[in-house]
Structure 1
Amino acid sequence: MLLVPLGLLCAAAFVAGAVFAGDSAEREAVERFASAWADGDYAAMHDELDAESAARYSAEDLEKAYAEAASTATATAFEIDEPSDEEERGGDTVVPVPVTATTGAFGEVAGEVAVPVADGGVSWQPNLVFPGLDPGEKLVAETKLGKRGPILAADGSVLASGPASARVTNGAGGIVTGETGPAGRKRAEQIAALGLPADADTGTSGLELAFDPLLSGTPGGRLLAAGAGGRTLLARRAPTPGEPLRTTIDAKLQDATAAALGSTFGGAAVLDARDGDVLALAGLAFSAPQPPGSTFKVVTASAALEEGVTRPGEEFPVQTSTVAGGREIDNAYDEACGGDLVASFAHSCNTVFAPLGVRIGGEKLVEEAEQYGFNSPPTIYNPEALALTRPPESTIPNPLESEVEVAVSAIGQGEVLATPLAMASVSQTIANRGVRSPTAMVKAPELSGNYPDVEVMSPKVAAEMKEMMVAVVASGTGSAGALPDATVAGKTGTAELGTSDGRPVTDPEQEQDVDAWFTAFAPADDPRLAVAVMVVNAPGDGGAVAAPIARQILAAGL
């Protein structure tokens, strides 16, 4: 018996039986032909053909014919048994070979391939590619998918439902669920393996793509032998419906988050501060990393405190600019900024945190960022789903080659890039006493990936960071993120993107493009929500533009 996996026709132990004196040269040729089929050795198969067949068909012709048959039948493996004795059928001598095909759409298809023999070899015909085909017949597949499974919010309410060709999303749920449509070239091979047309509607982005196999169910249909005399049914299987996919999304908060962001070009992410579950996403929540600006100072500050490089009461010079790594670093709006670490953080002093990054060192700064999840795929799905969707990583260069790179990275500039999802996770880590939880989007552990928690810092440092973030909102740059009934801990960020005409900034009056950021958690004393908002090409800084959006989201969720 031989097992022949589709696409990798591996050699297996072929039980050919003893060869007796009475065995003909033709039967021995069929045994070798079947063994070569199992090995995927089309040249060896061709060697067993009789002279007439060998002249008519090349080894390449054989390979193409068997591949097309396997594709039509959605075959994933063939099981080939020992050939039977020669028989006379319709005036021809044939050697029956029992073959069982395992298919994706039709289940197991068992039958025989009646191999004609003549002149000591195989008299090859195109019907020998699949069990059950008679001379002149070819395979025809009629396949379809079952009912597509719905995508559900955490409470069971429907976010998306209906067939892939006419998917219906409820409220702002489509932002999370992704889209369906024609598969396109990238997934053509996968779709063909299901026996579906290359332009079949399927998941193309987001959860619809990540968990398309689960939502699609198992295809079914009819496999037919078609010839001049009509069609003969070889196999039939009903399609099985897809399964529902329950997410971690809070439907009401999802709608509120999308409404808060509105038509603003940017993104927002909301997490459960207690376990990291994704509660809401809007816009570019995890699809387009941007420089995080001063929100990255949360990473820098926690690294400095954890490494003992500084302490909350350390005093820093009050100044408008400084030199770090040989480069002049200015504060926003040429503000004279400094004081103790808490005040410097609250007022987002570049003149403190760029040199502090140099004191930490590039290796430790990168290590801290990676503990927060930088330079790794987001933990939203299991690895198989991530491989399908390939969401971008939030990144920091590793290594940071110079002190200048360290200095600018420490204030979230240079080549540091982050998504709102990543920066919401940074806040969730502080809220969760220094432990970063995976940002799961689906409930079932086998689908979420069941990623472990990561202890980024000690509870002591997390408590110090919380007080610093509270000061940002209470008396610093993040006052627009404050709520009347809950204490908010946050951090603003304004990332410089260069100038509107692409030239370096040399004139302070020259117009400059910025991204505005705000990341936060609340209530500070008993955290329930962690949020991050990013506005691309913002009309103002993070405190003025992003913080009010985050405040609106927090107010809706608390």
Structure 2
Amino acid sequence: MLLLAFGAFVVGVAVGAGGGEAERDLAAQYTKAWAAGDYASMHALLTGEAQERYPLERFEKTHRDAASTATLLRLRPGLPGAVEDDEVDVPMAVRTNAFGTLRQPISLPVVEDGDEPRVDWAPHLAFPGLAPGEELRRDTSLAERGSIAARDGTLLATGEGRTSESDEDLGGLVGELGAIPEGRRAELRALGVPSDARVGVSGLERAFDEQLIGTPGGTLRAADRVLARTEPQAAGGVRSSIDLDVQQAAREAMADRYGGVAVLQPGSGEVLALTGIALDGLQPPGSTFKMITLVAALESGAASRKDTFPVQTSATLEGVELENANGETCGGTLKNSFAHSCNSVFAPLGAKAGADALVKAAEEFGFNENPGIPGAATSTIPAAGDIGDDLAVGSTAIGQGKVQATALMMAWVAATVADGGERPTLTLELGATPKRTRVMSEEVADTVGEYMRAVITDGTGVAAAIDGVTIAGKTGTAELRQTQGDCVPSTDPNAPPETCTTGQNDPSDTTAWFSAFAPLNRPRVAVGVVLPGNGTGGETAAPVAAQVVRSALKDGPTATTVR
């Protein structure tokens, strides 16, 4: 009899556990969608009345607000329990940034709605552990901000006063702390940062802000009930990739002129130095863009190393004459045309390659893409269909038209050529592992590097030559208005005033550029220099690059690329 009674009990439990299968399936489906952040699918599982009372937009906002208050990182549901009093309990593990991992069940009210069960939702169900009528509240604080060090370990900013061990003038590189910018409020609130905290707003302080903040701590409450309490955790220090000697060399080379210098290590993508407007100073890149045009022409088959071109002072596209700088006569081999920066060759060559090939090459180098360095502007080129006729494509091919670039971008281009045609991700952190994107074949990269070397030995960049160093580079002189000399004023009263200049070759009307890497066969440094309103790239930007390269190669960072 005892055995029969025990058997009946087991059968009864099994039958009881088997009831409510549809309700448990609903709870599992609902919480799985919740863990994935799929609010639309969650909302579709509510009763019709709940959907009307809480439209999707309000439903989603209620969940997002609760997640932000709790600093939610990840939500992991367990297996739904039995149905009791029209509710299904689902254990939930809630991992947060500021309050650790909370383990609270969610009790989902499940009712019949038509022919199937549905969730009878209310706002307290936006977070596990809340009772009806309760809302989440929090108080948070931060520990001491982490320190920033240079490549050699010299502290650049530490403690509450952000003091530095360096005696050098870093020219704003370290940056400043300030009130949370409006555009970052939601992001930092979700991490648990107090609304009145001072955060990095520029320079390295901004670039490493999330790492320097550490882990906030505080108290999370459901109304007046404490759900969790933690202490803030200080961040470890950050070791930047900045080389103080190279940084100082870049500042000295600029000699207080308006402009910027970006210095990279090929292979690793580490930023060694940044000055002035290197990150955000967008300018037409002029003939430094011919590195990209050369790649587009070679990769698309529009040109080959064996091609030769007419020796002339200008070329005509769409009935408009495009002159070489200062009316120079040049042409001949592709290598010679590149070394002497012949517009008369590269404008038609860009048109021949076509807008699609030109834009494709530029975007593979990183144009129209966030560089991945906080505060860095995105270098841009119009979509192929928006560039226009052959004249517009030709102008784009020589770095004019609507192309815009930063010194960081053009240093990145040089580093990509130096790295055998692979573009590394950029980083300001020492020792970060880069990802690489294949931009061109190694053969094409070798050709571009060889031609960049000819720019220094027999072209427009002789001012960048360094004894004993095989530097490879490309000059650029971007027209801001009109730099081809005197012109005849237009009789059209609607013509813009910049149609003519006040004199021939006005240096204030041009942006000087230089992009380079060195040494040619074992690259250790890549440089981008921009000097708006400072004449030609060969005269003013090339010497700046040479001074920086010389410093970088003198006891500089070890080589990471061997070609």
Whether TM exceeds 0.5 here: the answer is yes
Structure 2 counterparts to residues 438-449 of structure 1, below 5 A? 438-442=424-428
**Which residue of structure 1 aligns with residue 112 of structure 2?**
none
Q: Which of 523, 527, 533 lines up with 1:531 in the alignment?
A: 527
Q: CA deviation at 1:530?
A: 1.9
Structure 2 residue 381 is matched with structure 1 residue 395: yes
User: Which secondary structure state, in structure 1, belongs to the residue aligned with residue 235 of structure 2?
Assistant: coil
User: Which secondary structure state, in structure 1, belongs to the residue aligned with residue 514 of structure 2?
Assistant: strand
Q: Which of 524, 542, 547 lines up with 1:547 in the alignment?
A: 542
Q: CA deviation at 1:131?
A: 7.8
**Contact 1:224-1:235 at 8 Å conserved across structures:** yes
Amino acid at match of 2:471: V
**Which residue of structure 2 aligns with residue 323 of structure 1?**
316
Q: CA deviation at 1:241?
A: 2.3
**Which residue of structure 2 aligns with residue 309 of structure 1?**
303
Q: 1:405 to 1:456 in 2, by over 3 A?
A: farther
CA distance in structure 1 between the partners assigned to 2:521 and 2:154 by the alignment = 31
**Contact 1:276-1:436 at 8 Å conserved across structures:** no
Q: Which of 117, 124, 146 lines up with 1:149 in the alignment?
A: 146
**Which residue of structure 1 aligns with residue 552 of structure 2?**
557
Q: 1:200 to 1:310 in 2, by over 3 A?
A: same
Q: 1:481 to 1:44 in 2, by over 3 A?
A: closer
Q: 1:17 to 1:160 in 2, by over 3 A?
A: farther
Amino acid at match of 1:551: A
Amino acid at match of 2:358: L
Deviates more, 1:306-315 or 1:234-243: 306-315
CA distance in structure 2 between the partners assigned to 1:550 and 1:368 by the alignment = 25
Q: CA deviation at 1:292?
A: 0.9
**Which residue of structure 2 aligns with residue 413 of structure 1?**
400
Amino acid at match of 1:246: R
Q: CA deviation at 1:404?
A: 0.6
Q: Which of 216, 223, 228 lines up with 1:219 in the alignment?
A: 216
Structure 2 residue 325 is matched with structure 1 residue 332: yes
Structure 2 residue 474 is matched with structure 1 residue 478: no
Identity of aligned residues (%): 39
Q: Which of 225, 229, 234 lines up with 1:236 in the alignment?
A: 229
Q: Which of 167, 177, 182 lines up with 2:179 in the alignment?
A: 182
Q: Which of 328, 341, 348 lines up with 1:348 in the alignment?
A: 341
CA distance in structure 1 between the partners assigned to 2:105 and 2:345 by the alignment = 79
**Contact 2:511-2:530 at 8 Å conserved across structures:** yes
CA distance in structure 1 between the partners assigned to 2:388 and 2:103 by the alignment = 63
Amino acid at match of 2:440: E
**Contact 2:241-2:428 at 8 Å conserved across structures:** yes
Q: 1:545 to 1:397 in 2, by over 3 A?
A: farther
Q: CA deviation at 1:394?
A: 4.0
Deviates more, 1:282-291 or 1:496-505: 496-505
Q: CA deviation at 1:274?
A: 5.3
Q: Deviations over 1:352-398 (max 9, x none)?
A: 322233343333333433443334333xx4xxxx6x76741343542
**Contact 1:249-1:280 at 8 Å conserved across structures:** yes
Q: CA deviation at 1:251?
A: 2.5
Q: 1:352 to 1:508 in 2, by over 3 A?
A: farther
CA distance in structure 2 between the partners assigned to 1:484 and 1:419 by the alignment = 28
**TM-score if structure 2 supplies the norm length?**
0.71
**TM-score if structure 1 supplies the norm length?**
0.71
Q: 1:470 to 1:312 in 2, by over 3 A?
A: farther
Amino acid at match of 2:218: G
**Contact 1:295-1:412 at 8 Å conserved across structures:** yes
User: Which secondary structure state, in structure 2, belongs to the residue aligned with residue 147 of structure 1?
Assistant: coil
Q: 1:545 to 1:137 in 2, by over 3 A?
A: same
Q: CA deviation at 1:182?
A: 2.0
Equivalenced residue count is 496
Structure 2 residue 440 is matched with structure 1 residue 455: yes
Structure 2 residue 100 is matched with structure 1 residue 107: yes
CA distance in structure 1 between the partners assigned to 2:83 and 2:401 by the alignment = 72
Q: CA deviation at 1:294?
A: 1.4
**Contact 1:256-1:553 at 8 Å conserved across structures:** yes
Structure 2 residue 471 is matched with structure 1 residue 513: no
**Which residue of structure 2 aligns with residue 25 of structure 1?**
none
Structure 2 residue 257 is matched with structure 1 residue 271: no
CA distance in structure 2 between the partners assigned to 1:42 and 1:439 by the alignment = 41
Amino acid at match of 2:303: V
User: Which secondary structure state, in structure 2, belongs to the residue aligned with residue 471 of structure 1?
Assistant: helix
Structure 2 residue 345 is matched with structure 1 residue 373: no
Gaps of 5+ in 1: 1-15, 21-31, 49-57, 87-94, 116-123
Deviates more, 1:249-258 or 1:100-109: 100-109
Amino acid at match of 1:505: T
**Contact 1:36-1:45 at 8 Å conserved across structures:** no
Amino acid at match of 1:411: I
User: Which secondary structure state, in structure 1, belongs to the residue aligned with residue 260 of structure 2?
Assistant: strand
CA distance in structure 2 between the partners assigned to 1:398 and 1:126 by the alignment = 49
Q: 1:207 to 1:338 in 2, by over 3 A?
A: same
User: Which secondary structure state, in structure 1, belongs to the residue aligned with residue 283 of structure 2?
Assistant: coil
CA distance in structure 2 between the partners assigned to 1:426 and 1:222 by the alignment = 49
**Which residue of structure 2 aligns with residue 363 of structure 1?**
356
**Contact 2:81-2:88 at 8 Å conserved across structures:** no
Q: CA RMSD for the aligned pairs?
A: 4.8
Deviates more, 1:398-407 or 1:541-550: 398-407
Q: CA deviation at 1:270?
A: 1.4
CA distance in structure 1 between the partners assigned to 2:201 and 2:188 by the alignment = 12
Q: CA deviation at 1:545?
A: 1.9
Q: CA deviation at 1:328?
A: 0.7
Q: CA deviation at 1:426?
A: 2.8
Q: Deviations over 1:129-173 (max 9, x none)?
A: 98888999976533112333333333333343335xx54465466
Q: 1:128 to 1:390 in 2, by over 3 A?
A: same
Gaps of 5+ in 2: 1-15, 21-25, 35-40, 109-120, 484-494, 554-563
